[in-house]
Amino acid sequence: MSRYTRIAFLFDVDNTLLDNDGFEQDLRNWLDREIGPGSADRYWSAFEALRDELDYADFLGAVQRCWESTERDPRWLRAGDFLLNYPFADRLYPGAIDALHELGRVGTTWLVSDGDGVMQPRKLRRAGLWAAVAGRVRICVHKEKQLSYIQRDCSADHYVMVDDKLRILDAIKRQWRDRVTTVQPLQGHYATDTQVQRDLPAADITVDRIGALADRRSDLLRHLGAADVRTSP
């Protein structure tokens, strides 16, 4: 018998389902090539300053800052087009959509992503992730600080949180305790931060890539004590 009747799989996006490090490198290369040498450094300086002010990543806002600080250099107007039209589907990790579909057979899949309210939804739609979870998307500023909001909307007996950031997984585990199983795919620069790995306990489950969740669905469900069958809608 299944230990839980309703399981919610909560997936982070950046560097969990989608190679955000690769996207940021593409952006850096484009800025220096199309706007001019040093443009990427100017952009990321504005980006970090804006993140300190807003407490979230605002890619489009950083373009605005650069445009204003360069006497409205018209070359910066093209940067917004680059961001809005970027082919995020090309940056999906292998097996990302399969993982959503396979786990969606035994529970409810959600995207729970930190980000802004404009660029982040655009990214999810262009990547095909929004459609893959039938619009079950929640955008947060800091998901680990908004668990009551997540729990209200993503009602379940048990949660599986999939995130590349061990810091976030640890914070959620401390709050939800036995109500959550944490899963860390070892992808992206946060997941390979050796200092964080030394300072924090490991996730309940670690996989080398997100696609492994599709390959190892039965193993995950045995860990949860859940039946490997499709649940009722």
Domains in the chain, please, with CATH?
A: 7-18+93-224 (3.40.50.1000), 21-88 (1.10.286.50)
Checking if the pLDDT of 3 tops 50, the result is yes
pTM: 0.92
Instruction: Assess contact for 65 and 78: CB atoms under 8 A.
Output: no
Cα 92 from Cα 11, distance rounded (Å): 13
Asked if pLDDT for residue 233 goes beyond 80, the answer is no
pLDDT of residue 226: 59
Mean pLDDT taken over the chain: 92
Q: What is the pLDDT averaged over residues 19-48?
A: 96
Q: Which tokens sit at 180?
A: 């959550």
pLDDT score, position 220: 80
Whether the predicted pLDDT of 192 surpasses 90: no
Taking CA atoms, 92 is separated from 88, 97, 124, 176, 212, in Å, by: 7, 8, 10, 29, 14
pLDDT of residue 2: 53
- Residue pair 58/50 in contact (Cβ under 8 Å)? The answer is yes
Please, are residues 118 and 46 in contact by the beta-carbon 8 Å criterion? no
* CA separation for the pair 201, 128 (Å, rounded): 33
Q: Are strands 205-207 and 158-162 parallel, antiparallel or unpaired?
A: unpaired
| CA 181/CA 224 separation, integer angstroms | 8
